[in-house]
Structure 1
Amino acid sequence: MTARSTRRPSAAPFRPAAIGAIAVAGALLLTACGDQTESAAPASEKSSTSEAPLFDKLPEEIQKKGKIEVGTNAEYAPMEFMDGGKIVGVDPDLAEALSKQLGVEFEFTSGSFDGLITSVNSGRYDIAMSSITDNKARQEGLDDKGKKLGDGVDFVDYFVAGTAIYVKKGNPKGVESLEDLCGKKAAVQRGTTYEDALKKQSKKCKDDGKKAIDIESFENDTEAQTRVKSGGAAAGVNDYPVALELVRKAGNGETFEIVGEQYDAGPFGIAVDKDNTQLRDALKEAVDAIIADGSYKKVLEKWGAETGAIDAAAINSGK
């Protein structure tokens, strides 16, 4: 929104150790694997079918309830976003493919991005899947200053993306890189790793004798986009696939443009509580399985996200 270059939650919240309670008012649910009536089948029946070869790898609690509850922030097309009252995108479609391996549904709830990791640690969600960048701080539950905020999470890495800078069409402020933002306003979603990137660059600006970046942080990415569109901010920073989708779709491609190349590419991971190693390992096997059977590739091709493909899942590969 986790960066969510790409959308990467900062260590302070979370997209990696998250701060604050997740906003659940008006949360929207999506079962990523279709008709919920199918989930009513007893766990014993599911485990016996060849269509769910990894069912027995799941924790008994997950097997019994027949679903994995997923926290997300559905504001990052094409990764996860609302369409006709449903949560759709790369992550929900990947979850649907994973469900065929695991034999349980993935039930998505959309809420505040900066509360996702906290909600995993508290048990509100089994996992968080929301374009979250895996890094050491989030693994260890640290904020951007190294302060301990929580237990942290383990990540099952399934995608890779970098950070991108997007500007109003025509680039009226002449921004070509992060360095060009010294003394200018930049819009970003609060609690993301690309907010951290702006803070680091702002400090560098001052160290070099230039003016700091005027960082405007918003609760959601839509507000940041609006700020750039109105000319109130010189640029926005986001995950590369998200920025690319924004440039393609907003105003039929006439609203924004990306400047420069994506940078600081890192893995997106599914966040799992550190104590739930059985679920973590089952998810890793499932990701490897959908890569092997080709369904992973089909999902990425559907959404134009092939540049983020990986060859094999990994656990805590972020730095």
Structure 2
Amino acid sequence: MLPTTRNAGRTKGPIPSHCFPKARFSKAIAATIAGTLMSLSLPALAADLEEIQERGYMEVATEDNYAPFNFIEGGDAKGFNADVLEELRDYADFEIRQEILPWTGLLAAVSNDQYDMALTGASVSDERLRVFNYTPPYASAQHFAIKRADDDSISDVDDLSDKTVGVQAGSVLLSRLPELETMLEDDGGELGEVVQYESYPEAFADLANGRLDYVIDSAVPVNTLVASKPDVFAKGPAVSGAGYVSWPVPKDSPELLEYMTGFLEHLKENGRLAELQEKWFGESFPNLPEKPLKSVEQFHELAGLDD
């Protein structure tokens, strides 16, 4: 089972940060993303590698509520990135300090010089690439609908028309919803009400109790959730093109990006990356891009977003 979290299983209805009427979704989503990313547009002052080595430590920010990337179980940090953090501590010749933050403020904190980088399950997006570079991806992030296991009304994308969807506030899943909106409109359908949540366990709880028709998440957590609770949830249709998960590094820290790229290559060469991918994701990803992602244009070419 997935770990119990402090926000899961609420009984007083959804606790969205916003609900959008379907007719105004495109304009509303643009305003929401702009507000979420406002602090990310500030000049990043995070330390580059030389300063980190001189002071003797690097500060990384992680989250605790996004299995299987990062979560808490029995009071301890677990997940792919928790194991990677231990590998990084063995690899680095300086101390690695970690602080666990809520997802909604994590990237803003990194961009505002509170931490040197984010070691978490962060999907690549156009907005984030304007503030961060990414190490080479370590997981796929194509988006899928999650439905209730007993819901026979959803089998393909067309069936999602006019249904209520849950998604995490400030996430790439939210920013790429226009792809689904276009898919639906091309076949005469329309995107229904969009409800934003602070964390995914909240959304999954409301899906299970019928307050939502479906939730959108990326491939790895979808597979994990469905495998852990097959009597409650089922995997629905893909609702986006290709996507990637990686570690964001501030753009003014190119040496740190190179260092973390070398660390990832080290994990590939010794086989540890594939082991951890199999352990936490149920599969390895040998064909992901091997270079850091530094621009929107590069990302679009790799993900086929301009086709």
TM-score band, normalised by shorter chain: 0.7 to 0.9
Q: 1:306 to 1:18 in 2, by over 3 A?
A: farther
In structure 2, what is the equivalent of residue 126 of structure 1?
A: 116
In structure 1, what is the equivalent of residue 148 of structure 2?
A: 168
In structure 1, what is the equivalent of residue 74 of structure 2?
A: 84
In structure 2, what is the equivalent of residue 224 of structure 1?
A: 203
- Conserved in 2, the CA contact under 8 Å of 1:166 and 1:235? yes
Give the drift of 1:13: 6.0
In structure 2, what is the equivalent of residue 55 of structure 1?
A: none
CA distance in 2, matches of 1:311, 1:167: 28
Q: 2:173 aligns with which of 177, 194, 197?
A: 194
- Conserved in 1, the CA contact under 8 Å of 2:62 and 2:106? yes
**RMSD across aligned C-alpha pairs, in angstroms?**
2.8
Structure 1 window deviating more from structure 2 (239-248 vs 175-184): it is 175-184
Q: 1:266 to 1:212 in 2, by over 3 A?
A: closer
- Conserved in 1, the CA contact under 8 Å of 2:139 and 2:285? yes
In structure 2, what is the equivalent of residue 284 of structure 1?
A: 261
- Conserved in 2, the CA contact under 8 Å of 1:169 and 1:255? yes
Give the drift of 1:112: 2.8
- Conserved in 2, the CA contact under 8 Å of 1:81 and 1:88? yes
Matches within 5 A, 1:14-25: 18-19=37-38
- Conserved in 2, the CA contact under 8 Å of 1:70 and 1:129? yes
- Conserved in 2, the CA contact under 8 Å of 1:71 and 1:128? yes
Q: 1:177 to 1:292 in 2, by over 3 A?
A: same
Give the SS at the match of 2:121. Answer: coil
CA distance in 1, matches of 2:121, 2:241: 15
Give the drift of 1:103: 2.6
Structure 1, residues 1-55: CA drift from partner, whole Å, max 9, x if none? Answer: xxxxxxxxx99769xx84569xxxxxxxxxxxxxxxxxxxxxxxxxxxxxxxxxx
Matches within 5 A, 1:138-287: 138-140=128-130, 152-161=131-140, 162-172=142-152, 174-202=153-181, 205=184, 209-250=188-229, 253-260=230-237, 263-287=240-264
> Do structure 1's residue 109 and structure 2's residue 89 form an aligned pair?
no
CA distance in 2, matches of 1:206, 1:175: 17
CA distance in 2, matches of 1:247, 1:268: 20
Give the SS at the match of 1:184. Answer: coil
CA distance in 2, matches of 1:310, 1:94: 20
State the one-letter code of the partner of 2:167. Answer: V
Number of aligned residue pairs: 258
Give the drift of 1:118: 1.8
Give the drift of 1:126: 0.7
State the one-letter code of the partner of 1:92. Answer: A
In structure 2, what is the equivalent of residue 51 of structure 1?
A: none
In structure 2, what is the equivalent of residue 43 of structure 1?
A: none
Q: 1:72 to 1:264 in 2, by over 3 A?
A: farther
TM-score (norm 1): 0.72
In structure 1, what is the equivalent of residue 270 of structure 2?
A: 293
Give the SS at the match of 2:136. Answer: strand
Give the drift of 1:208: 5.6
Give the drift of 1:205: 4.0
> Do structure 1's residue 135 and structure 2's residue 146 form an aligned pair?
no
Q: Which runs of 5+ in 2 are unaligned?
A: 1-28, 41-47, 301-307
Q: Which runs of 5+ in 1 are unaligned?
A: 1-9, 22-57, 141-151
CA distance in 1, matches of 2:156, 2:106: 30
Give the SS at the match of 2:274. Answer: helix
TM-score (norm 2): 0.74
CA distance in 1, matches of 2:260, 2:81: 14
Give the drift of 1:65: 4.2
State the one-letter code of the partner of 2:196. Answer: S
State the one-letter code of the partner of 1:302. Answer: K
Q: 1:107 to 1:168 in 2, by over 3 A?
A: farther
Give the drift of 1:122: 0.9
